Chain A
Amino acid sequence: MSRDLLKFLAFAVLVLLAPLYFKGGYLMNVLVFVGIHTMLAIGLNLLLGYAGQISLGHAGFFGMGAYLSGILTATYAWNPWLAMPLAALLVGALAFMIGFPILKLKGHYLAMATLGMGIIIYIVFNETIDLTGGPSGLSGIPSLSIGTFTFDSDVKNYYLIWSITLGTILLTLNLANSRVGRALRAVHDSEVAARVVGVNARLLKVQIFALSAVISSVAGSLYAHTMTFVAPASFGFNFSVELLTMVVIGGLGSIYGSFLGAALLTLLPEFLRAAHDYDIIIYGGLLMLMVMFMPGGLVRGIPDLFRMLVKGRGGDGHA
């Protein structure tokens, strides 16, 4: 247990010191999004990696958080700190309600149902023009502030978002190691067996679905206040798939894996930009190689690779 805490503290120190290295360049801005994506990937990982339930509609929850925060603060001049928890609560309640019928489904059917849910939410963003501003988006969302201190630069936003992300990591790490986490893994491996030993599998799945939606919604609110603008195109089906890719590439059932996946998928396109028109091909190729040779995700693949390299070198030495 204390080893886990040590690991977390080391990670937190690394995160807090990173801005000293990047010194406010544009990568700072990208790292802000790595933070937001990490939260989203963790939220989805709880559902997919721990409870074994797929969702292709998580961009919808992310978008609802962003739009609720955006509309309440920009149109109705609410305090952002009040809008954020309200948005999270509403999104959580909605997820809880639709969770009961949806999570009865399994496998492909669950994927289809959540996919449909995501698309419906997207259509609502797109078509309710009077409320959301429609396809050309909603602007004029205020930045977050405490008293007279406004989070209006990348460095300030970085610390704001990463402190909430670190909080999420700590919370989910605890959850994963608790009775609930063990119950979730039991449901993942065999729902019937879990029920036999007294786990209320149905309720548990719905609860974790709702929690996952709440985390996504908070990430959405933070996104809205960082960008100060939201448009439906950011919350479409493609983004749901990107989130799923982050979780799978990072490593199912690992909180730090979610961070690795989010960081890789957010940063890689930036580094590949040097390759100009070929960036998409390289990007796709790299993802394919990773899935083929690191089926357990980065979080397991990187240590394996490291061990292989060390061993390989050792072998050479002997020969």
Chain B
Amino acid sequence: MRFRFIQFLAAAFTLCIAQAAVAAAPIKIGALFAVTGPAAFLGEPERNTAKMVVDEINKAGGVKGRKLELVTYDTAGDATKAVQLATKLIKDDKVVAIIGPSTTGETMAVIPVVEKEQIPLISCSAGSKITDPVKKWVFKTAQNDSLAVAKIFEYLQKQKQNKVAILTVSDGFGSSGREQLKAQAAKFGINIVSDDTYGPKDTDMTAQLTKIRGSQAQALIVWGTNPGPAVIAKNAKQLGLKLPLYMSHGVSSKKFIDLAGDAAEGIRLPSGKVLVADVLSNSDSQKKSLLAFVKDYQNHYKTEGDHFGGHAWDAVMLIKTAVEQGAESPAAIRDQLEKTKNFHGIGGTFNFSSQDHAGLGKDAFVLVEIKNKDWVIVK
């Protein structure tokens, strides 16, 4: 009898240990960011944010008693590396979901891998073609370029400025923007009277601007990421160009104001709500998430969080929410992600469905104007 009891105790004890071991096994999430290379301005805040969020979730006891483990690799913005590292995450690290990559090109390269291996991917890049057409295992948190374009065009339509010049950078971001600008112009009754491009490393755009000055344009839309647009703003000021300047969400960070200086005054651009988090009305459903993110990032990294980091914040939190709903396997996480409704993130309010893996509406952007080196919401 006594022997039985000891046996029972031992069995119970082993079971407890086993239980603890199961509970302690962390949920592995992979992340691919371009921390070095030309897209580092995206990859660095994304990696910082992802690490910060995962640390915080773990400090708060993890998700349903399980810790999250983030495995991040640097792709240096290279598509070949992104594919190799995605394979590594899936086969060696055995992650249940992947966050990233940072650029559209890398994401397009990784898509065949995750589709074949059936691992959910939440991309942090903006290109519309990532989720159009919808791919079973691929989601994204960065706002579509089409939404940003629509925001500008809507405003121009209101201002009755229907002749515009566009100046786009010849990289992935610029070419995607240019495509959207041209595709949507007719819908808003806008006529593109001048269409020029500049190289990502160009240091003087006076030639293009002189040409635009000679056209009939009533407004100029510049589509690029730092530092090009800052150069354009300065050149335009030197030339005495009187056209109102519009830019893309690619420059919606303090860095742009620093680079362009006085020339930034009066420039309008669509931006995620991160920049203006503190002045949003209290009824805004995103305000709580936004303020939490901005404060956290400031505490951790002593610099302002931008909307690029926000893409990673959204991706981690989306996975966390899916796991909270009971999803553990890659397939279950994917199914749960697709069911996400009214998730108030940094990029906007996400509503995924089987037809929409981008999940954001037009309200993801606000139009801001630069006044006195700060952002003001344009009504």
Binding site for B on A (CB under 8 A): 24-26, 29-30, 33, 126-127, 129, 134-137, 139, 152, 154, 227-231, 233-234, 270, 273, 280
Contacts and interface: CB of A to CB of B under 8 A. Distances in A.
Given A26-B92, A136-B129, A227 B170 contact: no
Contacts of A270: 84
Contacts of B129: 136
> Main SS of the interface on chain A?
helix
B36 interface: yes
B91 A135 contact: no
B172 A26 contact: no
B87 A154 contact: yes
Nearest to B93: A26
A280 B77 CA distance: 15
Contacts of B36: 280
Nearest to B88: A26
A228 B112 contact: yes
Given A136-B176, A154-B87, A229-B109, 5 more contacts: A24-B91, A33-B80, A227-B79, A229-B83, A230-B79
Interface string B172-210: 101110010000000000000000010000000000000
Contacts of A152: 116
Contacts, number: 78
Contact of B112 (A126, A134, A229): A229
Given A227-B79, A227-B80, A229-B79, A137 B109 contact: yes
Interface of B: 36, 73, 77-80, 83-84, 87-88, 90-92, 103-105, 108-109, 111-112, 116, 127, 129, 170-172, 174-176, 179, 197
B111 A139 contact: yes
A81 B109 CA distance: 22
- Residue of A126, A231, A270 with most chain B CB atoms under a 10 A cut-off: A231
A30 B172 contact: no
A24 B176 CA distance: 37
B290 to A, nearest CB: 29
- Residue of B91, B92, B176 with most chain A CB atoms under a 10 A cut-off: B91
Contacts of B90: 26
A137 B84 contact: no
Nearest to A139: B108
> Main SS of the interface on chain B?
helix
Contacts of A228: 112
Nearest to A29: B87
Contact of A135 (B105, B109, B111, B116): B105
A307 B116 CA distance: 48
A227 B105 contact: no
A13 B89 CA distance: 30
A25 B94 CA distance: 11
7 contacts: A25-B91, A33-B80, A136-B105, A137-B108, A137-B172, A227-B83, A231-B79
B92 A135 contact: no
4 nearest interchain CB pairs?
Answer: A136-B172, A26-B88, A135-B172, A231-B105
A229 B78 contact: no
A280 B91 CA distance: 24
Given A126-B170, A136-B172, A233 B77 contact: yes
A230 B36 CA distance: 20
B108 to A, nearest CB: 5
A271 to B, nearest CB: 12
Contacts of A126: 170-171
A164 B171 CA distance: 34
Contacts of B103: 136
B170 A135 contact: yes
Contact of B109 (A26, A231, A273, A280): A231
Contacts of B172: 134-137
A172 to B, nearest CB: 24
- Residue of B73, B88, B116, B129 with most chain A CB atoms under a 10 A cut-off: B88
A270 B80 CA distance: 13
A136 B109 CA distance: 10
A52 B373 CA distance: 57
Contact of B87 (A26, A229, A233, A234): A26
A33 B84 CA distance: 9
A307 to B, nearest CB: 35
Nearest to B79: A231
B84 A30 contact: yes
Contacts of B175: 129, 134-136
